[in-house]
Chain A
Amino acid sequence: MLEIKNLRVVVDDKEILKGLDLTVPAGEVHAIMGPNGSGKSTLSYVLAGRDGYEVRDGGVTYLGKDLLAIMPEQRAREGVFLAFQYPVEIPGVGSATFLKTAVNAVRKHRGEKEFDALEFLKLVRAKREALGISEEMMRRPLNVGFSGGEKKRNEILQMSLLEPRLAILDETDSGLDIDALKVVADGVNALRREDRAIVVITHYQRWLDYIVPDSVHVLSEGRVVRSGGKELALELEQNGYGGIGLQAGAAV
């Protein structure tokens, strides 16, 4: 589904990704771990199409197409979803209005019927209740005044509504307490499907107890330096990044 080859990316004249290779087949969950500054968030932004990330070399193929050639909203409509580490607050834009606009934009693209307000409300209610998101939260402006946990839950709600083919979760676990962690993980697990790939970016093995990956990749200095099964995460947990030959203490 996703094939990244020799990806080199420069941000503000500094090379962050230095020839990254990664393949994620449909139906699998891949975890990406690595110390701070290893390029994890850069990878997620490049895949989503943020400005200011200059691709110097290599490429990304998504469902057989050149992902980097299309606009962020087209990527989203083609099924690429990024759960942001820090979801942006947008005062004045109601959460529900935003969700409906996004869902209908994606449905229209897929040739599906756009929802009217009533249908949409019904759909949202079913999905949000599972994530413990109150109706009141939906009435607030997007992410404004949301706690860290609420923001993350809202990201997963969006994921479930937009039904992506490829979901990238950028440190979705950070800032969550243990209860919220479980609720959000359940939400993610419910979305695992044969035709859907999920990339989980995280610092902590703990998160992978909840979302069990098929593969684990270790990112360091802009490259995948090691790949393995879920046991690799356990190894990291025990020995740290130093234990696998990366500078110790880099992972915080």
Chain B
Amino acid sequence: MATSRKQERSIPLAYAERYREFAPALPGADLPWLKNLRQEAIARFSALGLPSPRVEAWKYTNLSTLAKQPFVPVDDADIAVSPADVAALLPPEDGPSYRMVFVNGRLRPELSAVGELPPNVRICGLAQALTDEPAQLEPHLGRVAALNGHALVALNTAFMEDGCLIQVPRDEALEAPIHLIFLGRPGATPPAYHPRIVVIAELGSRVTLIESHVGAGQGVYWSNPVTEIRAEPGAVVGHYKFQDEGPGAYHIARTDVALAAGSRYESFVMAVGAGLSRNEIRVALGGEGADCRLFGGYMMRGRQHVDNTTRIDHLVPGCTSRETYKGVLDNRSRGVFQGQIVVHKGAQKSDGRQLSRTLLLSREAEIDTKPELEIYADDVTCSHGAAVGELDDDQLFYLRTRGIDEAAARGLLIEGFMGELADEIGFARVRDRMLATVSAWLSERREEAA
């Protein structure tokens, strides 16, 4: 307080100041309700600004380098991407899926394969939905991901150009997962895009959503996706995300989930990519017996920065939440975990548990952890735990006495540390892919060391 250094709560973002220029080209420009929503959103963003580390929720993640990039909206006309380009960036899929591929945030039907859908199941591009059936979208868009308080949700709402609408009707159990692939392609000027995913799982339905975020190229781009998920009573939503963006990428994602009575949401986020990434999840447990499980893993090297921020609101009695995040930080990378559990007044019999564990592999790596409990009801069981350290000497020694050399022993321990997360994932294909991601990260690390 003594210093004269004046710290502002927001960082100017030139790109957003040019909103009026870009607005006419955005989809649904002729829809009054959407126009109003976007107007409100940009006004909100202007009022809030891009958050600086002075804003408590952004204390450990500084967006000032992002703000310095000369981002422009995506002009996708001249980006040629072949199915082989996409395939090269992803592990082969070992099963059927409803597949949608987005290049710089825009749906590419020629790369996608949604195929036959059961009756009344809707999986379609957002831009297309705004053209073909905006009335279907209006009651859902922006309802779960509220604008208030979150600048980047507001920015996404103002700028969103495409995305996906998923609606699963009552009691429909969708067997195959919906796989959304977001491919970032940096160009001469760094592109910024704002996908919006809207999921409505109706009464008693089941749906699995996989997001793959990959990058083609070393350059700078910014992906700012917002996902809103509404699970009606008894619905089950699996949501799995692999963030493997290019090294120059900024990936700032936000997911808002509203859970009704007896519904269940399971999320797993695996982050290995991007120069700077943040994955923020907010879950509102709004009906009795709702259950949410948030799991995440991150493995960072070089100067990568990863931020996992979550907030779980127990709004009504009798809900359960489980959360485990584990990460490995090498070189000069930095990790952030902020996890908040809020038990609201009257939300008795809430059961919330949270765990964060981090391994630091190098002298220069840094982890900042802020687990937070905010409890306003007395009959609850809530806990959090956080542990930070390096690999355990006793374990390392034990492995070495069995003839395993130190480097291999370290690899085995890291693999085991991350591998524990796999047990939490309820979807086998995702589990396998997660383990493969860990192995790939470790072998790259070995190669680098060699």
> Footprint of B on A, CB under 8 Å?
48-51, 71-73, 75-77, 80-82, 84, 87-88, 90-94, 97-98, 101-102, 105-106, 109, 141-142, 158, 162
How far is A93 from B408 in the complex, measured between Cα atoms in Å?
A: 13
Q: Are B400 and A93 in contact, CB atoms less than 8 angstroms apart?
A: no
B418: interface (CB < 8 Å): yes
- Residues of chain A within 8 A (CB-CB) of B420 are 91-92, 141
Q: Are B397 and A76 in contact, CB atoms less than 8 angstroms apart?
A: no
A-B contact pairs, 16 of them (CB 8 A): A48-B397, A49-B400, A71-B405, A72-B397, A73-B400, A73-B403, A73-B409, A88-B392, A88-B397, A90-B395, A90-B413, A93-B412, A101-B404, A102-B404, A106-B402, A162-B403
Q: Are A92 and B403 in contact, CB atoms less than 8 angstroms apart?
A: no
Closest to B405 in A: A73
Q: Are A141 and B416 in contact, CB atoms less than 8 angstroms apart?
A: yes
Looking at the assembled complex, report how far the CB atom of B55 sits from the nearest CB atom of chain A, in whole angstroms: 36
B406: contacting residue among A73, A80, A93, CB under 8 A = A73
Would A76 and B418 be within 8 Å (CB), given that A90-B395, A93-B412, A101-B408 are in contact?
Answer: no
A162: contacting residue among B395, B397, B402, B416, CB under 8 A = B402
Looking at the assembled complex, report how far the CB atom of B385 sits from the nearest CB atom of chain A, in whole angstroms: 14
In the complex, besides A98-B399, A102-B404, A106-B402, 19 extra interface pairs with C-beta distance below 8 angstroms are A71-B405, A71-B406, A72-B397, A72-B401, A73-B400, A76-B401, A82-B401, A88-B397, A90-B398, A90-B413, A92-B413, A92-B416, A93-B413, A93-B419, A98-B402, A102-B399, A105-B404, A105-B408, A162-B402
- Residues of chain A within 8 A (CB-CB) of B368 are none
- Residues of chain B within 8 A (CB-CB) of A92 are 413, 415-420
Nearest 3 Cβ contacts at the A-B interface: A92-B416, A93-B416, A76-B403
How far is A173 from B69 in the complex, measured between Cα atoms in Å?
A: 66
How far is A80 from B402 in the complex, measured between Cα atoms in Å?
A: 9
How far is A82 from B398 in the complex, measured between Cα atoms in Å?
A: 9
Looking at the assembled complex, report how far the CB atom of B135 sits from the nearest CB atom of chain A, in whole angstroms: 50
Looking at the assembled complex, report how far the CB atom of A77 sits from the nearest CB atom of chain B, in whole angstroms: 5
How far is A98 from B400 in the complex, measured between Cα atoms in Å?
A: 11
Q: Are A71 and B400 in contact, CB atoms less than 8 angstroms apart?
A: yes
Q: Are B400 and A109 in contact, CB atoms less than 8 angstroms apart?
A: no
Would A109 and B416 be within 8 Å (CB), given that A84-B398, A88-B398 are in contact?
Answer: no
B394: interface (CB < 8 Å): yes
Q: Are A50 and B397 in contact, CB atoms less than 8 angstroms apart?
A: yes
Closest to B326 in A: A92
Looking at the assembled complex, report how far the CB atom of A136 sits from the nearest CB atom of chain B, in whole angstroms: 15
Q: Are A49 and B413 in contact, CB atoms less than 8 angstroms apart?
A: no
Q: Are B401 and A48 in contact, CB atoms less than 8 angstroms apart?
A: yes
B133: interface (CB < 8 Å): no
Would A93 and B393 be within 8 Å (CB), given that A76-B403, A162-B402 are in contact?
Answer: no
Q: Which of B393, B401, B403 has the most CB of A within 10 A?
A: B403
Closest to B422 in A: A92
Would A51 and B401 be within 8 Å (CB), given that A90-B413, A93-B416, A105-B408 are in contact?
Answer: no
How far is A7 from B106 in the complex, measured between Cα atoms in Å?
A: 72
Within 8 A of A (CB), among B346-404: 392-395, 397-404
Looking at the assembled complex, report how far the CB atom of A41 sits from the nearest CB atom of chain B, in whole angstroms: 13
B409-449 toward A: CB 8 Å interface, digit per residue (1/0)? 10011011111100000000000000000000000000000
How far is A92 from B357 in the complex, measured between Cα atoms in Å?
A: 13
Q: Which of B397, B401, B406, B419 has the most CB of A within 10 A?
A: B401
B412: contacting residue among A76, A84, A88, A98, CB under 8 A = A98
How far is A101 from B419 in the complex, measured between Cα atoms in Å?
A: 16
- Residues of chain B within 8 A (CB-CB) of A76 are 400-404
- Residues of chain B within 8 A (CB-CB) of A88 are 392, 394-395, 397-398
Q: Are A51 and B413 in contact, CB atoms less than 8 angstroms apart?
A: no
Closest to A84 in B: B398
Q: Are B401 and A73 in contact, CB atoms less than 8 angstroms apart?
A: yes
- Residues of chain A within 8 A (CB-CB) of B395 are 88, 90
